[in-house]
Structure formats: structure tokens, C-alpha cells
Chain A
Amino acid sequence: MKNNDDTTHLIDETLIPKGQPFLSPVGYFEGLPTIIQRRIEGKDCEIRNTGFNEPEKYFATLPDRIILKVTTEEKEQNPVKQIGFINWTWVASVAATVVLTWGIINDQQNTLIKSNLTKQQWHIDNLSSTEIASILNKSDISEEELIKNISITTLNQQIEISSKEENEIINQLEETDITSEL
């Protein structure tokens, strides 16, 4: 019995190879081997071209550059890592001990100095003026004299300058008198 749904007579059988129910895009089989070849070789993974390209010989040099970086990094290993955690702990403990010891010693010295200063201050505060005078040595006295001498010299210089100015004024006045007479 003939099937009423049979529509095969509507299709041009010359377009469809026997046994193949589907159509393929134009040129598909021509391009397929190249595409598959490229994929297998991993040379060009792009089935469709993005339009991007890369610099010349980029991929030729990339592996060497990467290898150089990874091997250089390994050789210049972080010195902190090289020394190791346990060793760093030991070093840190020793350093802490040294700092602490220095601090204690420093503190003791400061205390000693403070007590000496306190003693000296007490001693000074409790001296009479006669005792202070006797403590002042010759250099202290001569310093005082020096200061006195400097003051006198300065004063003399000032007097000299003043008298010079005075003379100049007198001279000017005399000239004025002469010219007025004339």
C-alpha cells in the first residue's frame, strides 16, 4: 500500500547522495582536511579566524623565554626561604637575647649616671659660696677677666668712633662758617 506521507518524490535526488539524508554546506569537504590537519598539529586551533595575528617569530622564541624565566627564578631563590624557618627562629631568638641584654646593661648604666648626677647636684646645692669660689679654677677666673677685657675694648672702640664722628661734624660746621663768611 502506498504511504500518503511519502514526500520523497518532491526532493531532487540528484542533490542528495544515496544513503545520505543530510545536506552539507558548500565547500565543506574541501576545507575539512585542512581544518582537521591544523587541529591535530595544534598549529592553528582556530576553526574560524578572529582577525588577530601575532608578531613574526613570536611562537618560535616563546618557549625559550619561558624556560629562561622559570630556571632563573629557581636559581635566584629567595634567601629567606633558603635559610629555612627553623634557622630563622634560632636567629630571631639570638637577636632578641642580644637586644634584651643590651637594654638591661644600658638601663643599668643610665641608673648609675642618674644617681651620680643626683649626688653631684646635692653636693653642689649644699656648698657654701666660699667653697664654690675655691672650686672655681684659674681658667674660670681668667675667662671672666677675658669677658671683662672684651667689654672694655668694645667700649673703647665705640668711644673712638664717636669722637671721629664728632670731629667730622665740627669740621663740617667750620666749613659752613667759612663759606658763609665768604
Chain B
Amino acid sequence: MKEEIDDKQLLQQFAIESRREQVFHQIVLKYQRRIYWHIRKIVIDHDDTDDLTQETFIKAWKALKDFREDAQLFTWLYRIATNEALSFLRKKKSKNTISINEAHEELILALQSTSFFNGDALQMKLQKAILTLPEKQRIVFNMKYFDAMKYEEMSEILETSVGALKASYHHAVKKIEVFFEKQN
């Protein structure tokens, strides 16, 4: 098993100008999948996810030398990724002047038409159920259910209290259950 380099070591080495590119390459390698999948679950489409993933890391590159380490590197990256994804959805809504329901319909269409989905019918149904949730609740559900993230970690990333996150997740699960019942 390849030994993962400590984030602290990475940040220390990033401070050395001559090593910056190499270190950043390692940071991207380390976190690219987690960032990509986090965004992908929010925006659904692969191409949009690709753009937003790159944007996340580009922003990280620009801000990394001023990173104060008051949060974990991963938490910080995740926060940037979440904000990028949410901004993207908001811009899309306002650009097309569509309602929240229409925005959800668009995401469902993207889900049904994407060639990068190899799940079964049940997984498709679950994704559709998740898309009926409000954006932030969707993120909470994804982070808890798919990423098995701790509430404390989620609280740092989303800057929301643990209690609120627990309540949000509970409501999300209930809504998904109702969706499945209606479908059946």
C-alpha cells in the first residue's frame, strides 16, 4: 500500500516555490476522486463536474499559499467544491430564469440522458429520489449516505451545526422513503 503523504507535509513543501507544481500534483492526485464524486452527485452531468472540479483545484492553487491551516486541507477543498457546485446551480437557474421545480426536472433529465451511469434501476430510482430534495439537504444526504462522512466533518465543511445536519439527514431519508412508496 502506497503511503499517503501527510497534509501538513504537503503544505510545508508547497511553501517552497520550486516544489510547488510537484506538490500540487500530489494534492490533486490525493483528492481528485473525492472532490469529483462530491461535485458529481450535486450537478449530475460529467462535463459540468469536470469543469467544476478543475475550478475547485485552480482556486485552491491560488489560495493555498495563504491557507492558514485552521481547517483540514480536505475540509477546505470540500468547502470550495461545495460552493462551486451550488454557485453553478444558482447561475444556471438565474440564467435560464427557471423555477426550482424546473431546475430539478433538468437534473433528472441530465441523469436519464447521461452516458456515464451504469447503475441498475434501483440506483436510478434512488438518484431520482435524491434529486427531489432541496440542494443543501441533497448534499447532506449524499455526504452521509454515500461518503459515510461524520457529522462533525460535515459541520466543518458546510458550516452548519451537527444538530441541524442530523435533522436535515433525517428529513431527507423520510422524503426518499415517501418517494419510494409513491413509486411502488
- Minimal Cβ-Cβ distance residue in A for B26: A63
| A42-B34, A47-B147, A51-B124 known; A66 vs B119 contact (CB < 8 Å) | no
Q: Residues of A within 8 Å of B, CB-based: how many?
A: 29
Interfacial residues of chain B within 22-53, with CB under 8 A of chain A in the complex: 24-25, 28-34, 36-37, 40-41, 46, 50, 53
Please choose the segment from A52-60, A84-92, A96-104, A121-129 that sits at the chain B interface, where 4 or more of its residues have CB less than 8 A away.
A52-60
Contacts of A48 in B (CB 8 A): 145-146
Contacts of B37 in A (CB 8 A): 45-46, 50, 52
Q: Establish whether residues A59 and B36, one from each chain, have CB atoms under 8 Å apart when the complex forms.
A: yes
Interface residues on B, range: 35 or more
CB distance from B36 to the nearest CB of A (A): 7
- Select the residue from A37, A49, A66, A67 with max chain B CB neighbours within 10 A: A66
B58 sits at the interface (CB 8 A): yes
Instruction: Give which listed residue, B21, B31, B36, B54, contacts A54 with CB less than 8 A.
Output: B36
Contacts of B30 in A (CB 8 A): 42
A15 sits at the interface (CB 8 A): no
Contacts of A52 in B (CB 8 A): 37, 40-41, 114, 116-117, 119
Q: Mark A residues whose CB is within 8 Å of B.
A: 37, 40-55, 58-59, 62-67, 69-71, 73
Q: Mark B residues whose CB is within 8 Å of A.
A: 1-2, 4, 21, 24-25, 28-34, 36-37, 40-41, 46, 50, 53-54, 57-58, 61-62, 114, 116-120, 123-124, 126-127, 145-148
